[in-house]
C-alpha cells in the first residue's frame, strides 16, 4: 500500500518536472523564434495577397490587397477591396511612402525611414516584450498558404491588453497569419497572406514610384525625428514633456516634430514591445471635435479631458500647463487613462 502511494507520488513528480521542462523549452523556443522573426522582418522578398478582417462594434471591415515586398522595407501594395479603395496604391521605396488615391487624384508623399535591425535591436525589443507578455510556441502545427508554420502565442501578463497569435513560416520566418484577441478574449483582427510566392520574381524591376502625370503631389515636409530619448530631448522644443515611460510596461520608443492644425507639436511613441501608443503634445489650446463619434468627459488627475473613438482607436485629450495632450491607442480605455495620468 505504502509502496503504491510512493510510486504514484514519484510518477506525479516526474510528470510535473517533465511538463515544467517542456514549458521551459517551449518558452526558450519562442524567444529564439521571435528573435529570428524580428531580424528577418522587412528583409524577405515575396508577393502575396493579404486579407485583413477587423471587427468594429458588431460589424467587421475587410480589405484585400495585392502586395510585393523586397528587402530594405520596399513594398508595393494595391487595394482590391473594399470597392471604395480599389486601385489605391501604396509604395514604400525605402526612403518615402507614396500613397496614390486615383479617385481623389492625389499623391501623398511622406518620409519613411527604415534601417536594418541588428541582433542587439532584436534583443532589446524582446526584453521589452518579455516584461509584458508570455511567449509560447504551441505544440500543434498548422499550414497557411500551403506552407508549414509554427504557432507563436504572445499572451499578456496583465489582463489589460490584447493577445496575439502569430503563424510563422518555418522556411522564411515570415508572419503568414496574425490573430489579435482583445483583452476580453474576443477575436478582433485577422490578417492572412495567401497566393504566396517567396523570392523576387525573375526580371522584376526594383520597386519605385512615379506619380502619374497631371496628378498633384502633396509632400509632407521632412520631419525632425529622434529614435532615442536623449535625441528626442535635444530636438524637442522647451515646452515639450517627454516622459521616459508611461508605466505599465510602456517605454519611450521615438519622437518626431509635427505641425497639428497649424500649431507646433511633438509626436512621441511608446511601446510595450508589441502594442504602441502615441502621445501628441500641441503647443497652446486645441480641442478634439467629436466628429459624430461618442465622446465623454474624463478626469486625468486635476485636468478635465475627453475620450473619443475613431477607426478602432481611442483618444484621450486634455489640457495642462499651456499644452494640449492627446494619447492615442488601440487599448482598453481604462489602460489609456492610466497611461495618460502618468504623463501629467
Q: Which 81-110 positions form the footprint of other proteins (CB under 8 A)?
A: 84-85, 88, 90, 97, 99, 101, 104, 106, 108, 110
> Mind giving me the DSSP string for 201-220?
PTTPPPP---PPTT--EEEP
Bridge partners of 53, per DSSP, are 62, 190
Which long-range contacts does 95-98 make (Cβ < 8 Å, 24+ apart)?
96/209, 98/209, 98/211
Please identify, using beta-carbon distances, which residue of 248 and 305 lies nearer to other proteins: 305
Q: Are 174 and 46 in contact (CB under 8 A)?
A: yes
Q: Using the rule CB under 8 A, is 274 a contact of other proteins?
A: yes
CA–CA dist 316, 322 (Å, integer):
17
Determine the Cα angle at 190 with ends 38 and 181, to 5°: 85
Q: Which residues contact 15 (CB under 8 A, 6 or more apart)?
A: none
* By CB under 8 A, residue 32 contacts other proteins: no
Q: Are 90 and 97 in contact (CB under 8 A)?
A: yes
Cα–Cα distance, 270 to 280 (Å, whole number): 11
Work out which of 259, 296, 299, 334 binds other proteins, going by CB under 8 A: 259
Residue holding cell 511613441?
269
For other proteins, what does the binding mask look like between residues 112 and 151, x meaning CB under 8 A?
A: xxx--x----x--x--------------------------
Contacts (CB under 8 A) with other proteins, residues 205-234: 214, 216, 218-221, 223
Q: Closest separation between CB of residue 21 and other proteins, Å?
A: 28
Q: How far is the CB of 155 from other proteins (least distance, A)?
A: 15
| CB-based burial, 184-211: b 16+ in 10 Å, e otherwise | eeeebbbbbbeebebeeeeeeeebebee
User: In which element (H, E) is residue 10 found?
Assistant: helix 2-40
165-194 residues near other proteins, rule: CB under 8 A:
166, 175, 178, 180, 189, 191
Tell which positions 234-253 bind other proteins, by CB under 8 A: 253
Contact segment (CB under 8 A) with other proteins among 16-24, 195-203, 244-252, 298-306 equals 298-306
- Which residues between 33 and 72 bind other proteins (CB under 8 A)? 37-38, 41, 50, 52, 54, 61, 63, 65
Q: Which is nearer to other proteins, 184 or 287 (CB)?
A: 287
* The one segment of 1-9, 19-27, 230-238, 276-284 that binds other proteins by CB under 8 A: 276-284
- Can residue 322 be called a binding residue for other proteins (CB under 8 A)? yes
Of these, 23, 195, 304, 334, which contacts other proteins (CB under 8 A)? 304
Amino acid at each position: 500500500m505504502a509502496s503504491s502511494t510512493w510510486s504514484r507520488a514519484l510518477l506525479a513528480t516526474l510528470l510535473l518536472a517533465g511538463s515544467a521542462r517542456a514549458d521551459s523549452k517551449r518558452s526558450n523556443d519562442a524567444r529564439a523564434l521571435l528573435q529570428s522573426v524580428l531580424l528577418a522582418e522587412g528583409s524577405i522578398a515575396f508577393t502575396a495577397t493579404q486579407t485583413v478582417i477587423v471587427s468594429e462594434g458588431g460589424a467587421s471591415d475587410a480589405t484585400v490587397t495585392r502586395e510585393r515586398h523586397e528587402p530594405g522595407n520596399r513594398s508595393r501594395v494595391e487595394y482590391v477591396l473594399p470597392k471604395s479603395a480599389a486601385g489605391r496604391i501604396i509604395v514604400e521605396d525605402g526612403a518615402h511612402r507614396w500613397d496614390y488615391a486615383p479617385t481623389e487624384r492625389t499623391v501623398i508623399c511622406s518620409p519613411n525611414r527604415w534601417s536594418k535591425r541588428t541582433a542587439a535591436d532584436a534583443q532589446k525589443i524582446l526584453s521589452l516584450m518579455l516584461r509584458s507578455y508570455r511567449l509560447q510556441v504551441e505544440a500543434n502545427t498548422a499550414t497557411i498558404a500551403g506552407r508549414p508554420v509554427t504557432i507563436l502565442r504572445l499572451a499578456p501578463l496583465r489582463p489589460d491588453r490584447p493577445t496575439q497569435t502569430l503563424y510563422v513560416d518555418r522556411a522564411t520566418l515570415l508572419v503568414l497569419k496574425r490573430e489579435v484577441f482583445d483583452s476580453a478574449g474576443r477575436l478582433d483582427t485577422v490578417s492572412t497572406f495567401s497566393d504566396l510566392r517567396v523570392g523576387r520574381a525573375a526580371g522584376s524591376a526594383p520597386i519605385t514610384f512615379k506619380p502619374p502625370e497631371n496628378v498633384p503631389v502633396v509632400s509632407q515636409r521632412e520631419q525632425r525625428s529622434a529614435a532615442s530619448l536623449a535625441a528626442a530631448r535635444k530636438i524637442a522644443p522647451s515646452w515639450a514633456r517627454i516622459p521616459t515611460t508611461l508605466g505599465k510596461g510602456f517605454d519611450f520608443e521615438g519622437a518626431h516634430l509635427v505641425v497639428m492644425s497649424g500649431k507646433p507639436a511633438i509626436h512621441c511613441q511608446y511601446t510595450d514591445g508589441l502594442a504602441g501608443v502615441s502621445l501628441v503634445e500641441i503647443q497652446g489650446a486645441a480641442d478634439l471635435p467629436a466628429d459624430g463619434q461618442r465622446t465623454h468627459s474624463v478626469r486625468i488627475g486635476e485636468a478635465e479631458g475627453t475620450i473619443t473613438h475613431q477607426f478602432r482607436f481611442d483618444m484621450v485629450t486634455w489640457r495642462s500647463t499651456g499644452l494640449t495632450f492627446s494619447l492615442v491607442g488601440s487599448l482598453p480605455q481604462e489602460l489609456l487613462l492610466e497611461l495618460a495620468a502618468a504623463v501629467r
